[in-house]
Structure 1
């Protein structure tokens, strides 16, 4: 088996692996992205992209989000493939017009003008690995950057007026606040991620398309939930979003 088959099998059967075999581990970001893209094909249509950076100076990393894993606030995440149940509070954008690849880079202003709406969001983390925090970073990137779902809240009016450096967020699980932070997106200026994806990411994305969701990295680190847990995220200006995990053993959706 190759790395793609191993990761896909572990996710689909809910039988996580400790790590990829040493001879199948990606050695470069390009190799990790190659595995990532082939893995995403198994889930058919792409509904958008997750993008983020670990600091204000780091080059962003990005991964495809399968359309089948995208839901609106209030949904129940059912199925045996929800095992890890990681949660991250995020700010997401929906693209309102196509931004096809072109020789002249899009300006920040052009990309932001193409944004149709801004939303509070929760990224659900799932993984082929028993503990993704204990493996090499490139292996984690190859595993769809441990993406497992995306839930969006209602659009935020006048989002351009939000000072994201001052935005406050809380993450609660089962009514208990787990994380509370201000201006905590690790990318620094999260809006820089959108022109990066439109320009530097275009070779992989094929250009951003009308309707694509772009979620821009965690504000809260990751928080682990359990079967049956309810998660609530509240931003001070950017709204709220929540989800529920189905009870252990709940049926897979049709």
Structure 2
């Protein structure tokens, strides 16, 4: 049964209040708990409207043939060429190394699906990135995947590294990657994204995920899922992700 509009507003209001007051929720009230993805996206969209304009997106999938999921991101948690963020921004600090695409042209919502080639033509640059995963609930992951999806897909911050304009030579499925935390090699892999091809995710986002917001727009920044899994780190930790041929990004959460 689809949530009522009142229940959606109640859930979104609770999540927005948790952000505003820095008071985590033990759980959403039973009547405001999403029962399916449609409910979760309805709450997510209402939260996004409460935060402000959408400037970026996250999109991912659990397997190469799995249905993707997405969440909008806003300017207050989007950072470019930033080497340090305050730990006080976050309740938990779950770091993921990811690949970001930045659009140079619009992909507005339309009846005819955008093709893979059209989506590729809209890309202006590719970047190494970190996403910090966080939660508005008292315990990370305690409320299940639908509540996490409603809660901006556990988004905390997106930190975008330097652009690679010659991005078509990059094969993200076979891209090498290392991730060091405080000088310790934690990840050494190729590809690493369990969703497989991130262009599939980008096309799905243009055609489905971003449709309630009018599609994608020039300047939008899209991160396409973790290449490393989520690694929880302590305040003061320094992370370095190196994508040979694509770029390197460093971050201290101090």
TM-score using structure 2 length? 0.90
The yes-or-no answer on 1:185 pairing with 2:193 is yes
CA distance in 1, matches of 2:101, 2:242: 17
Higher helix share: 2
Q: Aligned to 1:47, which of 38, 43, 55?
A: 55
CA displacement, residues 143-199 of structure 1 (integer Å, 9 cap, x when unaligned): 000111111111124221222222121222222222222121111111111111111
The yes-or-no answer on 1:151 pairing with 2:153 is no
Matched with 1:18 is 26
Query: Stretches of 4+ moved more than 6 A in 1?
Result: none
What's the offset of the Cα at 1:14? 3.2
Q: Aligned to 2:133, which of 125, 128, 134?
A: 125
Q: Check conservation: 2:125, 2:166, Cα contact below 8 A.
A: no
The yes-or-no answer on 1:111 pairing with 2:119 is yes
**Equivalent residues, number:** 246
Q: Check conservation: 1:14, 1:83, Cα contact below 8 A.
A: no
Q: Check conservation: 1:74, 1:244, Cα contact below 8 A.
A: no
The yes-or-no answer on 1:85 pairing with 2:104 is no
CA distance in 2, matches of 1:7, 1:146: 12
TM-score using structure 1 length? 0.90
CA distance in 1, matches of 2:215, 2:165: 26
What's the offset of the Cα at 1:79? 6.2
What's the offset of the Cα at 1:201? 2.5
Q: Aligned to 1:207, which of 205, 211, 215?
A: 215
Matched with 2:6 is none
Q: Check conservation: 2:134, 2:140, Cα contact below 8 A.
A: no
CA distance in 2, matches of 1:8, 1:43: 8
Gap regions ≥5 residues in structure 1: 247-254
CA distance in 1, matches of 2:124, 2:165: 11
CA distance in 1, matches of 2:26, 2:177: 33
What's the offset of the Cα at 1:4? 1.6
CA distance in 2, matches of 1:236, 1:26: 41
What RMSD over aligned residues (CA atoms) do the two structures have, in Å? 1.7
What's the offset of the Cα at 1:202? 4.1
CA distance in 1, matches of 2:66, 2:133: 22
Matched with 1:250 is none
